[in-house]
Amino acid sequence: MFELAKSHGVKTFFNPAPGDPNMDKSILPLTDIICTNESEAECITGIKQNNLDDARRAAAQMITMGPKYAIVTLGAQGCVLASQGREVEHIPAREVTAVDTTGAGDCFCGSFIYFLINAKCSVRDAMEKAANIAALSVQRKGTQASFWTRKEIGETYPELLK
């Protein structure tokens, strides 16, 4: 699938959930953007994830495997972004009281893609907005039930949709 996408100039996004240390890494050179959580980053790179610096190192290592951008989500700590030829950047999370973190990664990925494609944001700006949307989702119980609607976001945090 990724080979076909690349042959037609389509950008690719890969979220290797759940993490598998035996994952076939041949997909990585075909990936424009890889988005992992800490355990998935550890499975891909072998770098134990204990702190922000470990996430930075894992993101930087994933870039050497082929993707143009590597994102590692860090829950309450936000996320990091690595890209070719640039320093790894940390994007902090919005401070909230978490009720249920189930689905926050899916919320991040979906929001990120939305902002990248529909809002035509840069990768960094899409990440910042997605991190904020995911932070909103952890304030409610459930998975899909915790996802804020576009209307709710627009009424409460209109700056996130600009």
Catalytically active residues, by annotation:
106
Q: Please, are residues 85 and 69 in contact by the beta-carbon 8 Å criterion? A: no
Q: H helices within the chain, ranges in order?
A: 2-7, 38-45, 52-64, 104-117, 123-137, 150-156
Residue 37: is it exposed, middle or buried by C-beta count within 10 angstroms (0-12/13-18/19+)? buried
d(CA 117, CA 45): 28
d(CA 134, CA 62): 23
CA 67 to chain centroid = 13
d(CA 15, CA 71): 10
Lookup: tokens for 104: 């926050």
